[in-house]
Structure 1
C-alpha cells in the first residue's frame, strides 16, 4: 500500500481506506465529463454521502499524498452497507459530476466558442479552463445542465475540426480546476506490448461513418445557404449515410461540409484489449488518452472507454480503442 492510497474526507476529518479495500475500480467513457469509481471495503469508520473520495498513486516526489499523485477526487454519491457482513460498497464520481447536477437558465453564448464556454462555466463558481476551439457561437441554450452545454460545444468543435475533446481534472497544491483537453494530448503516453495483454480483438464499424455531409446556415429561422458534399467512392461501397450540420453565421458552409466529409467518410478501426501492468504513473489513464501498441510495428490509438481495477499493486485495464492514423 506504499504506492497507492484511498482517503475519505468530510470537512476536516480524514480516514485512510486503502487497508480495508477488497475491490476498487474506476471507469471513464468518451463524451462523459466525469469518471466514476466503485470501492468495496470492510471494517471502516462511518461515512456519508457527499463526503469526498481521494485516490493517490505514486508518480512523483517522496510523499504518496503529494497533490500531483492524486488521480481521483470527487463526492460519494451512493453507498450501501451489508447488515450481515458489515461490508461496504461505495460509489463516487469525479468533482465534475456537480456540473451535471446544476442547471443554467437559458444561457447565451456569443463569441469564440472556447472562450464563451470558459466564461459561462466560471460563472457557476467552477474554475474551468478551455482553449480556443476555432469557431464562433451565437446560441441561446434552453434550461439545461451545465455538463450538457459543455458536451454540446465540444461536439460542435468535433463537427468542425475533426478533433475530439474531453474534460480533465487538474489537481493543484491547494485546489483543482477542470481543463478541456484535446484527445491524445496526454503527457505520459503508455505503450503496451502483447506480453501484457490477456485479451485482444480488432475490427471495424461504420456507426460514426457518413458518406454525405450537408452544412446549412440559417438567418432569422430561415435557411439561407446549404452545401452538400459527397464521397462518391465510399457512398458506392457503404450506401448513403448523411449528416446535417447547422453552421454559425460567420462560418462557410462549403468549408465545413468539405472538412467533415473528409474526416467522417471512413470506417472506424477499433480494438479491444485487456492489459495488466504495475506502472503507477498510469493510474489516471482515461478516455481521450493516446496509447501505443507495439507489435512488429508501433500503432497509435485513442481510448474510447477505460475500465480499471487495482489489486495488490496490479492494474487491470479493459480498453476500447479507436485507431489514430497520425
Structure 2
C-alpha cells in the first residue's frame, strides 16, 4: 500500500505490518470515548494483545512515519489467528480506551467544568486538555470509570450551551495528549460531491426533539426553583415532549430552559451517505467532524458516526450526518 503504513509496537520494538494487511476498518460514534479498529492480515509476524497498533497515511509531505501522519494509535485488545491458514484478525481501540478501564474514587469537581475535568483527569498522570465549557460544577460523583465522568461533563456542556464535544488523540513527536474538542472545529474539512457517493438518504428525526423544557434548581435535595418554557407551535404540530434538566446553583433556570428549548424544539435533519475516495488526508475523519456536501449548493453537516474501510488504496466511508445550519 503506497502512502499508508501499519506498525505493531511493543515497548521499544517495532514491526511493520503493512504488507501483511489485507483490510482495515475503523469506526467512531458520537458520545464514545475512543475509536475502534479491526485489521485482517495474512502471514503476519507474531502479534500480542496490549501491543500498540499505529496507522499512518500521507497527510503531509516528508517521511510517512511521522507523528503528523499518524491517524490511529492504541492498544490491541483482541487477537485471533487461524491455525490452518495463518490469517489474523485484530481488534484495537484508541489509546483513550484506557480511560474506560480505570476508575476514579468519588471525584469532586468544584469550579469551571472544563478546568475541573482537566485537573482531575491529570491527577491520573494523563496529559488531558479541556477548554472552559461555560458553566461551573459543584458535584461529588460516585466511583466510576474516567470515561463516564468525561462523558457526563460533556453532556452537561451540551445541555447548557447546545454545543457538543468529543475527545481526540493528538500525536506529538515524542508522545501524545488527549484533547476535548468542540464538534465542527476540524481544520481539514472534507467536501464530498455526488460522484463520490454510492448511496445517499435524507430525512428528519424526532429522537432528540423536545417541545417543552423544564429547568429545575435544587438545594440540599429541596426544589427551590423551576422554570418551564414551551413551544406552542411545536406542541401543536409535533406533540408534547418534555425535557427536565437540573441546573447548578449559580445558573439561571429561565436562561437554561430558553436556550435548550431553542436548540431542541426543531426536528433534526439527518443524512446517510456512503463515499469512496483516495484522499489520505481524510484518514482521520471521525465523529464530530464538520463535512460539506456540494450539490447545486454547499451544505454543512456534523458527523454523528463514521465507519471507514481501507483496501487496495481505496477508502469507503459510511457516514451518518446531522445538519448544521451555521
TM-score normalized by the length of structure 1: 0.99
Contact 2:21 2:40 in 1 (8 A): yes
- 5 Å matches for 1:1-326? 1-326=1-326
- Return the offset for 1:61: 2.6
- Return the offset for 1:186: 0.1
- Return the offset for 1:289: 0.1
Question: CA separation in 1, counterparts of 2:206 and 2:224?
Answer: 31
Q: What does the per-residue CA deviation read over 1:176-197, in whole Å, with 9 as the maximum and x for residues that have no partner?
A: 0000000000000000000000
Question: CA separation in 2, counterparts of 1:2 and 1:83?
Answer: 29
- Return the offset for 1:2: 2.9
Contact 2:2 2:313 in 1 (8 A): no
Question: CA separation in 2, counterparts of 1:323 and 1:98?
Answer: 32
Question: CA separation in 2, counterparts of 1:11 and 1:151?
Answer: 30
1:99 is paired with a residue whose SS is helix
Aligned Cα RMSD in Å?
Answer: 0.6
Question: CA separation in 1, counterparts of 2:209 and 2:317?
Answer: 27
Contact 1:208 1:268 in 2 (8 A): yes
Q: What does the per-residue CA deviation read over 1:193-221, in whole Å, with 9 as the maximum and x for residues that have no partner?
A: 00000000000010000000000000011
Question: CA separation in 1, counterparts of 2:140 and 2:11?
Answer: 38
1:198 is paired with a residue whose SS is strand
- Kindly report structure 1 stretches of 4+ aligned residues shifted beyond 6 Å: none
Question: CA separation in 2, counterparts of 1:12 and 1:158?
Answer: 41
Question: CA separation in 1, counterparts of 2:181 and 2:62?
Answer: 28
Question: CA separation in 2, counterparts of 1:158 and 1:11?
Answer: 39
Contact 1:27 1:305 in 2 (8 A): yes
Contact 1:2 1:64 in 2 (8 A): no
1:33 is paired with a residue whose SS is coil
Query: Structure 1: where are the runs of 5+ without partners?
Result: none
- Return the offset for 1:116: 0.3
Contact 1:270 1:320 in 2 (8 A): yes
Question: CA separation in 1, counterparts of 2:248 and 2:281?
Answer: 42
Question: CA separation in 2, counterparts of 1:82 and 1:202?
Answer: 41
Question: CA separation in 2, counterparts of 1:275 and 1:133?
Answer: 34
- Return the offset for 1:23: 1.1
Question: CA separation in 1, counterparts of 2:58 and 2:238?
Answer: 48
- Return the offset for 1:294: 0.2
Contact 2:215 2:253 in 1 (8 A): yes
- Return the offset for 1:47: 1.1
Q: What does the per-residue CA deviation read over 1:249-280, in whole Å, with 9 as the maximum and x for residues that have no partner?
A: 00000000000001100100000000001110
1:131 is paired with a residue whose SS is coil
Aligned residues: 326
Question: CA separation in 1, counterparts of 2:90 and 2:141?
Answer: 35
TM-score normalized by the length of structure 2: 0.99
2:218 is paired with a residue whose SS is strand
Question: CA separation in 1, counterparts of 2:9 and 2:187?
Answer: 29
1:288 is paired with a residue whose SS is coil
Contact 1:81 1:88 in 2 (8 A): yes
- Return the offset for 1:94: 0.2
- Return the offset for 1:12: 1.5
Contact 2:198 2:275 in 1 (8 A): yes
